[in-house]
Amino acid sequence: MAGGNRAGTDGRATSGGRSGFVRLTELLTGIEPGKTPINLSVGEPHHPMPDFVGPVLTRHLRDFGRYPMTRGAESFRVAVAAWLNRRYKLPRPVDPEREVIVLSGSREGLFLAAIAARRYTADRGDNPAVLLPNPFYMAYFAGARAAGCEPIALPATRATNFLPDYDAVPNELLARTVAVYLCSPANPQGAVLPREAIARIVKRARAAGTMIFADECYSEIWLGDEVPTGVLEVADGDFANILTFNSLSKRSSLPGLRCGFAAGDGDFLAAFTEFRNVAAPQVPVPIQEVAAAAYGDETHVQENRRLYRAKFDLADRILGQRYRYHRPDGGFFLWLDVTKLGGDEAAARDLWRKSGVRVVPGSYLGHTAPDGSNPGAGYIRAALVDDLASTEQALHRLAEYAG
């Protein structure tokens, strides 16, 4: 079938069944690390949190004593809309009243949105589908399955610059598709979707009555001069069928805050909020106030971006041509080719046993098709989320392992 691999029901798709991190733990169980461990497996930023977090939280402690509104506090929604209007070249301002809702981190929103979309979109026939990049963030696949849709994984390989070929999706497939997930910058490869590619799939999806869900959590970590395009930028003034998802985990190094947002199609968000009223966690008001302060400040974001660029400068120098390394456009992951080192599982085991470096086999982050192909196979993912000194040490160990 053109457009990608069909996601079967054999349980081999990591995010439809078992977590890749659970599989990694099992892979390494009983193996002693050869050196002091350095964990590069989890994309959990370890940069210092912004100075204002504690004071803002303290000022709003009393708000823990009341239930928050599901759609979010007005102060939060206004702050998010203002940030979107500053950050992107939008065809019109985002309306904080109708076009922004709060999320308990973007993951729950990305998961639940597929279920809401199945209810919201017109009849998709007997076999509704959800399209997602492959490899992918696990919430996409899990959401598709929970919605009763067929997850169809579109391979993102070196041959396509590590981006799915959305142009190759047949019209008949798009006609039965409930939602298309985009991820730019991509997790794990760091590739950025060109504006023209985003505009084309948005136009086609709208014509088919299909939702576009853009995971833009890495939007503020660009490693060159090109600023990633946001999905709302390609709209013609009407955000119908388009949602962007973002959070503070990566932008502000606040993964434990568990606060994010969805913005875009106001009609869909109204239906989504009604569903979330009974199905989703509410976000405490003090947390939302911290988030509002974070979206109002760019100084800490610029410092985070400087640190990530410095770490990739180290990678450029230390890794060189090893692993077929190339500097990604965005994000904070290394996506390293280990096909000549025994494959991704073998390399992950050896790096732990010999070097004490914990990485994720790429095949654990992707779907294995019935023909046995998996775009993540032969790669390892390493998260450059620690301080510069630890990162430099880890990179030297990676270089030493590759020889």
Do residues 224 and 186 both lie within one domain?
Answer: yes
Which of 297, 313, 347 is the last residue in one of the domains? 297
Q: Say if residue 141 is exposed, middle or buried (CB neighbours under 10 Å; 0-12, 13-18, 19+).
A: buried
Do residues 253 and 383 both lie within one domain?
Answer: no
Do residues 164 and 177 both lie within one domain?
Answer: yes
For 302-344, how does the pLDDT look when each residue is reduced to its tens digit (9 = 90+)? 999 999 999 999 999 999 999 999 999 999 999 999 999 999 9
Decide: 155 and 134 in contact? Cβ < 8 Å: yes
- Token pair of 336 as six digits: 């390293």
Nearest Cα neighbor of 140 from 187, 77, 84 is 187
Say if residue 2's pLDDT is above 90.
Answer: no
Do residues 90 and 174 both lie within one domain?
Answer: yes
For 86-97, how does the pLDDT look when each residue is reduced to its tens digit (9 = 90+)? 999 999 999 999
Do residues 265 and 369 both lie within one domain?
Answer: no
Which of 297, 331, 360 is the last residue in one of the domains? 297
Number of domains present in the structure of the chain:
2
Say if residue 7's pLDDT is above 60.
Answer: no
Which of 297, 329, 363 is the last residue in one of the domains? 297
Do residues 292 and 304 both lie within one domain?
Answer: no
| Cα maximum dimension of the chain | 58
Do residues 242 and 277 both lie within one domain?
Answer: yes
Give the 3-state secondary structure of residue 228: coil
Do residues 196 and 290 both lie within one domain?
Answer: yes
Nearest Cα neighbor of 199 from 177, 214, 188, 178 is 214
Do residues 30 and 168 both lie within one domain?
Answer: no
Domain that holds residue 209: 53-297
- In eight-state DSSP terms, residue 158 is G
Distance between CA 73 and CA 78 in Å, rounded? 9
- In eight-state DSSP terms, residue 355 is I
Please calculate the CA angle 24-181-184 and round it to the nearest 5 degrees: 80
Do residues 31 and 96 both lie within one domain?
Answer: no
Decide: 391 and 384 in contact? Cβ < 8 Å: yes
In CATH, what number is assigned to the domain containing residue 67?
3.40.640.10
For 339-371, how does the pLDDT look when each residue is reduced to its tens digit (9 = 90+)? 999 999 999 999 999 999 999 999 999 999 889
For 140-185, how does the pLDDT look when each residue is reduced to its tens digit (9 = 90+)? 999 999 999 999 999 999 999 999 999 999 999 999 999 999 999 9
In CATH, what number is assigned to the domain containing residue 37?
3.90.1150.10
Q: How many CB atoms lie within 10 A of CB 233?
A: 17
Do residues 113 and 42 both lie within one domain?
Answer: no
Decide: 285 and 60 in contact? Cβ < 8 Å: yes
Distance between CA 169 and CA 201 in Å, rounded? 9
Do residues 115 and 183 both lie within one domain?
Answer: yes
How many CA within 13 A on the CB side of residue 170? Answer: 9
